[in-house]
Structure 1
Amino acid sequence: MARSTFPRDRFDDLPDASGRVGAHRAEKPRLRGWIVFLWAALATLVLIIVGIFGTLVVSGRISLGDDAAPAPSASAEPTTPAVVDTSYSVVVLNGTTNDGLAGETRDRIVAAGWPGTSVETGSSDSTDFATTTIYYLRDTDLPAAEGLAQTIGGAEVAQSDFLQPTDDPDTPGDESDVKRLIVVLGLDRVAGGADETPAP
């Protein structure tokens, strides 16, 4: 083989063990397919988790700060304190067929401190009134109604203008300033009578 007459250059001094000759490069090792798939799956999972977390933060379901308002604590509704106020006049109506029930209840009220002249009795238009109820007119009358309910051994209270004085200025003998409570005795008092109803 004839010798080359070209002058020597830097490519003639490369060692044979390098695997490269001249400008040729060695072949790159191939990446295995399952490694590529694993990295793609991992990246997809990370993106899904970040997306879900971001959605929860934006929608307010997750708070990143400590400024969240404390949960409201349950509190009992305020109750109106019962007051035994003997300045009220009282009308006791028997809403049952049990004769003498209104008189027995009147005696209990008078014994609690009401003047006898302030407590009247009568019969209701109905004789099958279900539950003993005390009717009061104004919001400010509620404590006195509750106190009277306790005095007669428990009763419901309700706001109503039933048998209350009229406030019509043209009505003769206007009694709009009179404080009055109306007691309608019901069938819940018939079994044992008013005197046998347990006191509070």
Structure 2
Amino acid sequence: MKYIIAGTDRPDSNTLKVSKIIQGIYKELGEAVEIIDLKELKQHLHDDIHYGKPSEALQPYINKVLGSDGLIVVCPEYNGSMPGILKYFIDHLKFPESFEYRPVCFVGLGAMFGALRPVEHLQGVFGYRNAFIFPERVFMMNVFKIINAEGQLTDELMKSLLVKQAKGFQKFAEALKTYKLDANSFIESKKST
């Protein structure tokens, strides 16, 4: 299963609204994906002060990442970068297996530049951790103007870009899996040796 990481803990965030829109797109494409809402796990990030030794309450979220067929990271721009909670969550994930050979794609949410900077920062982090980064990123400019009160996307161009990304990311992840180049295949091959 793929997971969407809603990369903020802000209540009633556009990030979670967009994550739900993306989840709906994947459902229309015949694939169930789940959302990891950082607002839900926020209370558990401070249960244990040692990186790499998560609390029992945090473990289910870590297991989702470790078993995922791919990650869709939805990231708003906070002060020119990613939200601190997203980086803090990443820092709690096992190294290297959390991202190594795992397909990942990015959707940025912001004002004028659609979160170009935080997505580029994330690409550096995920690249360092040897993830397979899908090259088609989506940058949602002025996101607060294109999401209505009901949480629906009103911009058809943005919707078409999200659909195009989802279709491409499905093919990308499936190709890696077919040739056993993805993280889960890599982990299985290590177990059998």
Decide which structure has the larger Cα Rg and report it.
1
After TM superposition, the score normalised by the length of structure 2 is 0.27
Relative to its length, the structure with more helix (as a share) is: 2
